[in-house]
Amino acid sequence: MRAPGRDAVNGGNVKDEDLRARLKELYLPPVTDFVLVDVPEMRFVMVDGRGGPDSPAFADAIKWLYAVIDPMKPFAREQMGKHFVEPPLEGLWWADDIQDFMHGNRDKLNWRMMIVFEPGWLTAAMFEDAVDKAKASMGEPPSSLRLESLHEGLCAQIMHVGPNSGEVPTLARLHSKFLPAHDLAPNGNHHEIYLDDPKRVAPGKLRTVLRQPVRPSG
């Protein structure tokens, strides 16, 4: 499911080569086939909702996520001498009926939109302060806006290039071929990571990481 995003990647002033390699592993999988990766526990700013990405609730959720993340950039630069590169927008998607998900029945989809809030110097107090400041111009935030950790563990993922309508065959291949071939079963919600802004990048070049938490099927 395509969502409005921003240019992506990691937060913090990354210099350590091991960390660079780890971020590449998590956020830049190959295009050609699925790979398995162990995703560590990470903190996210999250908002939950239901319906398609064209709904007012969805647009409001995205607006609030960026309202919380945007103040981190000047704070990092002016107060801590750090360079904060805005992380990508991410989304978990699921449906009460799996057929609604597989066929993209948007009005029946549940979602959790989120942006990673991971560098060690970002604190819960900074999150709360950003929310309080945003209230002055935006009013009350969504009731589900929160800072929460997510640990997905073992995941299968691939890079999808193109519009969201082209994801269906890839997801079908994941569930009908890759998972059975590796004796794996789904173990969590479908996860998308939007590496490009659809307002800046042509639909045919949009990059989206498609991630599925898995477990041994036995």
Of the CA atoms within 13 Å of residue 44, those in its CB half-sphere come to: 23
- The per-residue pLDDT for range 120-137, each reduced to its tens digit, is 667 888 889 899 999 999
- What span, in angstroms and rounded, lies between the C-alpha atoms of 71 and 13? 16
Task: Write the CA distances from 187 to 70, 101, 170, 180, 191, integer angstroms.
Answer: 32, 16, 18, 14, 11
pLDDT of residue 119: 66
Residue 15 pLDDT greater than 50, yes or no: no
CATH tag, 17-216 = 3.20.80.10
Q: How confident is the model at residue 47 (pLDDT cuts 50, 70, 90)?
A: very high
Q: How confident is the model at residue 24 (pLDDT cuts 50, 70, 90)?
A: confident
Collapsing DSSP to helix, strand or coil, 39 comes out as strand
Provide the residue type at 127 as one letter.
F
Collapsing DSSP to helix, strand or coil, 106 comes out as helix
Residue boundaries of the structural domains of the chain: 17-216
